[in-house]
Structure 1
Amino acid sequence: MIRLAAFDPGAAGFSALLAESQGEGHRMLLRLAENWANGSNRFAFPGEIMLGAWSGDRLVGVCGRNVDPYDDDERAGRVRHLYVAQRARRDGVGRALISAIRDGAAEHFDYLNTNAPETAFAFYERMGFVPLECGGHATHRLALV
């Protein structure tokens, strides 16, 4: 069973998840750790959250929701740093994280943007995100209203 809870990069198991993500060529968890450490992004503004997913006592995924710093609309949100451990993929962890990120988001945001790697496009589209043609800092958007 997957348990979701508030998370920060000091949590037990994060260093293993970080190493795994870097081994796959991803930098999102490194950016998360760096931005958390320097205080530039602690998911502390209204509507922002950072979640971890645990299977037993093992951290198997993370995902956050921020105000979108790349969108001029003050009601634009952003899905950030979604990563699921290899051993937990296809177990519903990503779906659970995105569902939790979506819950309550409409109170603060009209839509959520994300900048997904191409390998994750199908996942986001299954979750209701629509591909964006404009390029820039977002590949997909989920309308909340």
Structure 2
Amino acid sequence: MRSLKKIFSIVIISASLVNVPLVSASPSQQVNQTPLQEIVNSLELTEDQQNEISSFIDKYQDSRPVIDVEKVIELKKEQLRLIAQPKLDESKLGSIIDMIQVKQKQLLIDEMQLKNNIYNVLTEDQKTKFKSSLKSLILETN
């Protein structure tokens, strides 16, 4: 159960890292930025870099699957049903875990592809700062 909860948390955290388009807000607008956006905004990008990264993020968001909240709730209910049985149905539990891991894997691949695309348009100094910021972010979430 703890493993499934951790997997769902990772999926949600991964999805939230880049869930808002990269935009420049005026001072009067309050836009909640994702951690990745904050990192990218701290890199002092050229206009060309901003445009290219913005297109990467748009492409990422367009291809990102919608999280089916109803399905997540149903999987949680199924977990509870399995727990409440006299004997745990490991086969059914394994099937649930496999479904979750497939979705998690694809989300992580997509996220890593986005970060790689961003990384490859940066200067050497920006790359160093980007890697350092991502490392700090990863350490904070663990």
* Greater percentage in strand: 1
RCO comparison, higher one (Cα < 8 Å, 6+): 2
TM-score by length of 2: 0.26
Q: Which has the larger radius of gyration?
A: 2
